[in-house]
């Protein structure tokens, strides 16, 4: 059998969407035992021949896609696994190889890190000791912010420039707080406290226009609030105009503009899928797509275990979910044909707690789980993650990839870990 396979040849034709690496559309007869490394050498030889006389050319490492799936085995194995014909010419796409992310700093905290969000060069963290922290992406601690009376389960930047940053935090103390940070003086003030939930909060999300934010928690409710720091008095409402004094000065109590009911258990995640549309994940085994303008339910996806997180990619218009069944699933919630589940990515060995898309690459995302691992995925290779980002010594509770250059994760080992992402391609 081995002799037959090694003697077997396949016809292939290379193509790429990266013009600087384009080669002629020639059909090659190659051994079926070739894998990515040998194919990469072929492409480099062809490119070298085309550039003869132009001096020494640096060799480039490529990845290959056959039938839109990353080649992780020998060619024949891939062809057989995906039911492709060995008698026709295979179109093989090649892309510049994505190198492994580089581990950078480990940021130490006093308790579990349950929330993290990166904007620009600033990292915002929420912890189980009720505090919020601001760090730089270079690992320098900038500020510790007390204020909540329960674990901080979610944080999100709202706006940020050289002078002022605004952000929101959500806590088990049943409130979400809107903060204003003076970057130059490094002073922070709680401007608004959002009250209305009857149990602890688990999640918060700000829409792309930074006009609205949404919160969910253990009271099973989804609530929508204004995200602007300064509202006209009439927009604040009668109950919101009352100013209360705290250790952080004065703040206004803000009430929700809309409450959406429907989930039967805790709302664990909220992800805006458009300026006026959002998705929620819940312990009741469902994902729900809501119209934030009318309050109507647009779609309902039923899973087999509790959902802990959901993330939306505006690049691919797909939703990624993290679940207690250890899988990450990729959904097209607006699909009208076939299954809403487009991919199931299986590699984690315990509950998957967090999932985040790349901001610049439609196929890439990361996930964090109770198995102490952060995994880096390509949707074109769902059977195995591209890389494991090791370092955490306990459960991974949160991760973020909002900034293209940095993958950040927090966990029950009281640390935030930073990895530098390397970008071979950006689609």
Domains of the chain listed by start with CATH number: 2-96 (3.10.20.90), 102-420 (2.130.10.10)
How large is the average pLDDT for residues 147-157? 98
Handedness of CA 61, 62, 63, 64 (dihedral sign): negative
223/292 Cα distance (integer angstroms)? 10
pLDDT-based confidence at 52, cuts 50/70/90? Answer: low
The pTM of the full predicted model, rounded to 2 decimals, is 0.90
- Cβ distance 373 to 396 under 8 Å? yes
Residues 61-106 have pLDDT tens digits of 999 999 999 999 999 999 999 999 989 999 999 999 999 999 999 9
Antiparallel, parallel or unpaired: β 90-96 and 9-15: parallel
Q: Which of 234, 233, 213 is nearest to 222 (CA)?
A: 213
Please check the confidence at residue 425 and state whether its pLDDT lies above 90: no
Q: Encode 284-299: b = buried (16+ Cβ within 10 Å), e = exposed.
A: bbbbbbbebeeeeeee
Handedness of CA 72, 75, 76, 79 (dihedral sign): positive
How large is the average pLDDT for residues 14-22? 93
Please check the confidence at residue 388 and state whether its pLDDT lies above 90: yes
- Cβ distance 21 to 96 under 8 Å? yes
Residues 279-329 have pLDDT tens digits of 999 999 999 999 999 999 998 999 999 999 999 999 999 999 999 999 999
Cα distances (angstroms) measured from residue 407 to each of 16, 306, 410, 423: 27, 25, 11, 12
Please check the confidence at residue 243 and state whether its pLDDT lies above 90: no
Cα distances (angstroms) measured from residue 147 to each of 144, 164, 333, 415: 10, 19, 37, 21
Please check the confidence at residue 152 and state whether its pLDDT lies above 60: yes
């Amino acid at each position: 059998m081995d002799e037959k396979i090694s003697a077997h040849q396949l016809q292939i034709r290379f193509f790429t969407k990266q013009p600087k690496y384009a080669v002629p559309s020639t059909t090659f007869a190659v051994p079926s035992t070739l894998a990515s490394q040998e194919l990469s050498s072929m492409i480099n030889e062809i490119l070298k021949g085309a550039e003869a006389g132009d001096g020494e050319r640096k060799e480039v490492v490529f990845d290959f896609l056959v039938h839109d799936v990353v080649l992780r085995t020998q060619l024949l194995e891939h062809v057989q696994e995906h039911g492709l014909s060995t008698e026709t010419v295979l179109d093989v796409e090649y892309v510049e190889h994505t190198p492994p992310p580089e581990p950078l700093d480990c940021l130490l905290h006093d308790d579990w890190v349950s929330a993290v969000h990166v904007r620009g060069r600033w990292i915002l963290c929420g912890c189980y000791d009720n505090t919020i922290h601001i760090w730089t992406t270079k690992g320098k601690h900038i500020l510790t912010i007390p204020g909540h009376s329960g674990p901080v389960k979610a944080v999100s930047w709202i706006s940020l420039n050289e002078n002022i940053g605004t952000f929101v935090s959500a806590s088990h103390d049943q409130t979400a707080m809107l903060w204003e940070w003076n970057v130059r003086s490094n002073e922070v003030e709680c401007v608004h406290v959002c009250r209305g939930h009857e149990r602890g909060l688990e999640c918060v999300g700000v829409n792309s226009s930074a006009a609205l934010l949404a919160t969910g928690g253990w009271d099973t409710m989804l609530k929508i609030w204004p995200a602007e720091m300064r509202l006209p008095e009439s927009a604040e409402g009668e109950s919101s105009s009352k100013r209360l004094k705290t250790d952080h000065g004065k703040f206004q109590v803000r009430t929700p503009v809309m409450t959406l009911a429907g989930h039967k258990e805790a709302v664990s995640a909220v992800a805006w899928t458009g300026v006026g549309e959002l998705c929620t994940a819940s312990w009741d085994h469902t994902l729900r797509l809501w119209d934030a303008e009318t309050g109507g339910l647009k779609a309902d996806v039923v899973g087999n275990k509790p959902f802990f997180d959901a993330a939306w990619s505006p690049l691919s218009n797909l939703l990624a979910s993290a679940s207690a069944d250890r899988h990450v699933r990729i959904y097209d919630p607006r699909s009208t044909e076939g299954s809403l589940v487009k991919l199931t990515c299986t590699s984690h060995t315990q509950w998957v707690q967090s999932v985040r898309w790349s901001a610049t690459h439609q196929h890439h995302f990361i996930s964090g789980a109770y198995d102490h691992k952060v995994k880096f995925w390509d949707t074109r290779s769902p059977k195995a993650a591209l890389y494991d980002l090791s370092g955490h010594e306990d459960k991974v509770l949160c991760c973020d990839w909002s900034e293209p250059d940095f993958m950040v994760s927090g966990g029950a080992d009281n640390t935030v870990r930073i990895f530098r992402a390397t970008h071979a391609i950006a689609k």
